[in-house]
Structure 1
Amino acid sequence: MSEGKYSQVVIIGAGFSGLTMACQLQNQLKEFDYTIYERSKEVGGTWSANKYPGCAVDIPAALYSLSFAPHPGFSKLCPSQAEVLDYFHEVAKRYRVLEHVACQTEWEGAVWQESSRTWSVRLRDLVSGRVFHHECKILISAVGALVNPNSFDLPGVDSFCGEIVHTARWRDGLSLRKKDVVVVGNGASAAQLIPAVIHETKSITQFIRTPQYYVPNDNFDISAFWKAVFRWIPGFLLLFRFLIFVYLETAMAMIGLGQQGSRSRLVASSKSKAYMTGSAPEKYWPLLVPEYEIGCKRRVFDKAKYIPCLQNDRLLLTNDPIVAIQESSVLTQSGKAYPADTIVLATGFSLTHWDVDVRGRGNRSREEHWKEFGCIEAYQSIAMNGFPNFFYLLGPNSGRAHTSTLFAIENHTHLILRVVRPILEGRASSVEVKRESEVRYNQQLQSAIEKTVFTDSCGTYFNDSRTGRNWFIYPWSSFQLWYSTHWAGLDDWSYEATAPVESCLRPEKSLLQLCRCRIDSSVRQGIYHGY
């Protein structure tokens, strides 16, 4: 085990969450002493991992971009993976973030050190296998949920003569030309992949389990004229971004269980069903039309025109479950064998991104904390009591099923920076959310979720299979998210002073300094609130 390192801030993950936090540490706090660790060979997060044909963002790029780094040059309303990744690299280069990144480094654990008020982060160099520790004041988990693919463990997998590939592990140079292809899954990835490759394949057999709501959608080219307007007319791109934000926010009307929500869901589901039955062969209608209510799973925006592809004789859709893999085919429950040269898994992701052993005060683990609370949770999606100076980006219940993930990332980044400012300015040594505040927040959260369609009725991965509670969704509006992260007070946080409490009471202190040292007599010496 090698000698450790030290930084003020350690960020785990070099996707959009890590990039946003790094840029805003520099912009807002003038903090440059940070290190980002990324286990992949390159930065970019999900946009680096998902390189399958047809991969694209399903939110208009004017909103799926960072507010402090607008980009007028996207070629389409919803650009391809390659364009989004190019934009990511452009921002990282502009802010010189790559100088702070160490790739191919796995996060293995972290322990809070009470004596030094720091985190000891355990990491492994995936090239050399060397294990080392990195000490830091602030530890931020910017590890996204769409990281670790679901497993595919069927009898006979090892005997398959072709290639089995997950959409998030696409191999450069993989060709599907003139091949019999099996696609497992029918979410957004499959809906983008199939239209992109169907004309080069010999056949595609798609195996599905649960129907989806597909929404008709067009992806427009952005002309040179509009690019020039976005670039040269001040505020126009910002206005366009705001209009998209407001339009997407109208989907919030669908999630409530009241009469308005029911009416909105009826209209939306009718439109989706009309699209599917009007564009797909009748024999597939029973496989396509869901029985659950629209909204409790993320809708699939069919910009790639997957549903019309079902008219192509090369594509066969079935819900006959696969039970085994053979040398050149897949065997189903009905006893039929379907030919397969390549198997593509569009089967989503597991929740193992929270399996890393993180231990807070008194060596208490995250698992122990969540067991006490009865579910995976975090106050405002970013913090847990007993884990000082530790924060999440895209943590529990930060998910937005209807709008831009980057909007959530930026808002939670802003809240974290508000909370940690006293630490990085040397006015406090640690901060953590109060336990009673965390309890109250999660009671309010679960109560709000119970009034929405985001229950376990869909069997969605949004819900913890052990408890049935929704760990993914933020149930309130984006306006509420913005207010709670930008303007709401910080009374739910406790700070530990870097100096004895008595020093705050000296006569020579200014009024401002005295306000920053508001003493809470109900807690032990050294704790104060109100930054």
Structure 2
Amino acid sequence: MASDKVTYSQFACIGTGFSGIALGCTIKRWYGISDIRFIEKNSDLGGTWFVNQYPGCACDVPSILYSFSFAPNPEWSKVLPSKDELWNYLSKVCDQYGLRDKMTFNSTVERCEWIEETARWRITVRDTASNTTFTHECQFLYGGSGLLVYPRKVDLPNIKSFHGPVFHASQWRHDVDLTDKNVVVLGNGCSASQIVPAIKEQVKHVTQFARSKHWIVPDVKVPHTKVFQWLFMHIPGVMALGRFAVFLFMENSARAFGMDKASAAYRRQVTAEAEQFIKEKAPEKYHGMLIPDFELGCKRRIFDPGYLESLHSDRVTLRDDPIQEVTPSGIRSKNGFTEADIIVLATGFETNTFCTGIDIVGRGGVTAEEHWKSMGGPGAYNSTNISGFPNFFLLLGPNTATGHTSTVMAIENGVNYSLRLIEPILQGKATAVDVKLDAEKAYTSQVQTALQDTVWLSGCNNWYNRSQDGTVRNATVYPYSQAYFWYRCLFPVFEDFEYDVAKNPPRRAIWRKAVKYLVYAAASLSSLGLMVSGTKNQWDWTRVMPFSRDRVGGFGSDLLARVKL
């Protein structure tokens, strides 16, 4: 049954993870706007840190960087925080900014349609508790459902014949008691490497089937955590400096992803160090199953949470022989039979998909799926905008993720970027903004070209890439440094966008224009020191430098807009 009532908010966001919360906080910080509605399919906020509840679940990015720049937390208990600590952090930030009562839980978005006459998005939402639908409209729509949402399907012969519980790591069954049970874990990526050491003392035996290999590096451990907490809490600026230092350290590792001689030499060095670490920590009998035959960087590295040492336990067995079938009592593989009471699928997520399950309809009745099909696969201008879908922004959209640093930085940059784009609309000068199709095509083509010269397409089988029509497309990873993404988000190229001008735009005082030109001159000079890129690129810098164009757009005009003169 559908409700006839139509609700409205100026902003609407699909999801309540880091992306949605960053948006809600930032519009309040920048503009004092609290007119936002979050639509969340789960029963609480947190996104991936609410969904993933498996034993040992933790972040693999230092907490000082895997957090909002505007909400520093000096009380992190460790460098790589647990899922519970991260969820508590997000909950605290939501309460601080009054976002919780803006969230509608247990609701799935089925359709989003752009209404040209009203310059609004019409959203069809299903309440999963009552199985009824309702309509919500908004001026600005954000897709913040995340990158890793839907578990990857695994085709195991006769899996339905198994008599015990079978579940994905991200759908952990807390009603299932592991005590004195024979547990089989399929996979050996980040999730599996956290689960195995976390459950080994509880179970009777855990057998892990490794489907591929990953480079495992030492965990990040900083001594005297209490000392750092005290410094962060009591000495102004120390935490900001610490965050910046961690950022620089992690940005430096981005040089492992290029294919030039310097990157290759660096990769050989860190690969040799990782190989030595695995040999020192893991049983010798497993070295052949663990040490990859590709260079470090092609897949996401794993910070060892105690996994390698857990392989010494009599309760843990690692196997890499192919699985032939599942029986009612276990798994038959090429080299024998493994008894099992419980099967855990730590097999990862579907990738290169965005807003899955949502029918997003833009101008002319074109859906996002149709648009991406015409483009050769998922992509977005600056990882955020798709042409024909005005006032719609993707957070952690195509080619946003990094293989070396925090995605929270990318989220914040994406949010800030989108708000700079819509500022003329907030000022009443326009009603909608849409990226030009040619600009989107040029950007996505450049990104895919740049990715060809990275280690991610060097031959290993990773979850970043997807084959389509005989070609490999990576719609996941950003090929440049995060410093460069920050740079592009800080200064949008406005000439790549089209604005629907409002009928009666407000005017500003003439004296403000004079002040603007003075600030413009200063911005032009200062911007010379802002170009930072982690790798080679072929961008047309004359299109983005503030002093290069005598038109709206570029660095100068955006900076002027931000200071609100």
**TM-score range for the pair, normalised by the shorter chain length:** over 0.9
Summarize the alignment of residues 418-437 of structure 1 with structure 2, pairs less than 5 Å apart. Answer: 418-437=420-439
Give the total of aligned pairs. 514
Amino acid at match of 2:84: A
Partner of 1:521: none
Structure 1 residues 60 and 166: alpha-carbon distance in aligned structure 2, compared to 1, 3 A threshold: same
Summarize the alignment of residues 101-140 of structure 1 with structure 2, pairs less than 5 Å apart. Answer: 101-140=103-142
Structure 1 residues 333 and 86: alpha-carbon distance in aligned structure 2, compared to 1, 3 A threshold: same
Partner of 1:97: 99
Amino acid at match of 2:374: E
**Residue 319, structure 1, aligned to residue 334, structure 2:** no
**Mapped partners of 1:420, 1:512: distance in 2:** 21
- How far 1:456 moved relative to its partner? 6.2
Partner of 1:183: 185
Residue deviations 1:304-339, cap 9 Å, x none? 1211222222211112222322222112244x2211
Aligned with residue 211 of structure 1, among 207, 210, 213: 213
Partner of 1:481: 485
Partner of 2:519: none
Partner of 1:447: 449
Amino acid at match of 2:111: G
| Aligned 8 A contact 1:74 1:222 in 2 | no
- How far 1:250 moved relative to its partner? 1.1
**Mapped partners of 1:438, 1:514: distance in 2:** 34
**Residue 340, structure 1, aligned to residue 340, structure 2:** yes
Amino acid at match of 1:331: R
| Aligned 8 A contact 1:207 1:320 in 2 | yes
SS at match of 2:124: strand
- How far 1:498 moved relative to its partner? 1.4
Residue deviations 1:121-170, cap 9 Å, x none? 11100000111211111110001122111123433333322211211111
Residue deviations 1:16-56, cap 9 Å, x none? 10000110011112211110000001110111111111111
**Residue 281, structure 1, aligned to residue 293, structure 2:** no
Q: Which runs of 5+ in 1 are unaligned?
A: 517-527
Amino acid at match of 1:74: W
**Mapped partners of 1:113, 1:80: distance in 2:** 43
Partner of 2:229: 227
Partner of 1:70: 72
After superposing the two structures, state which structure 1 stretch, 274-283 or 467-476, moved more.
274-283
After superposing the two structures, state which structure 1 stretch, 412-421 or 146-155, moved more.
146-155
SS at match of 1:369: helix
RMSD of aligned alpha carbons? 2.1
Amino acid at match of 1:209: R
Partner of 1:415: 417
Partner of 2:170: 168
Amino acid at match of 1:92: C
| Aligned 8 A contact 1:385 1:438 in 2 | yes
After superposing the two structures, state which structure 1 stretch, 6-15 or 423-432, moved more.
423-432
After superposing the two structures, state which structure 1 stretch, 314-323 or 81-90, moved more.
314-323
**Residue 492, structure 1, aligned to residue 496, structure 2:** yes
TM-score (norm 2): 0.87
- How far 1:514 moved relative to its partner? 12
| Aligned 8 A contact 2:57 2:194 in 1 | yes
Residue deviations 1:162-198, cap 9 Å, x none? 2112111113353322111100010111111111111
- How far 1:436 moved relative to its partner? 1.8
- How far 1:488 moved relative to its partner? 4.4
Partner of 2:82: 80
Partner of 1:237: 239
Partner of 2:330: 329
Amino acid at match of 1:470: N
- How far 1:372 moved relative to its partner? 1.9
- How far 1:468 moved relative to its partner? 0.8
Partner of 1:403: 405
**Mapped partners of 1:511, 1:108: distance in 2:** 49
Partner of 2:58: 56
After superposing the two structures, state which structure 1 stretch, 125-134 or 150-159, moved more.
150-159
Partner of 1:519: none
Q: Which runs of 5+ in 2 are unaligned?
A: 517-550, 559-565
Partner of 1:525: none
Partner of 2:529: none
Identity of aligned residues (%): 38
**Mapped partners of 2:373, 2:458: distance in 1:** 20
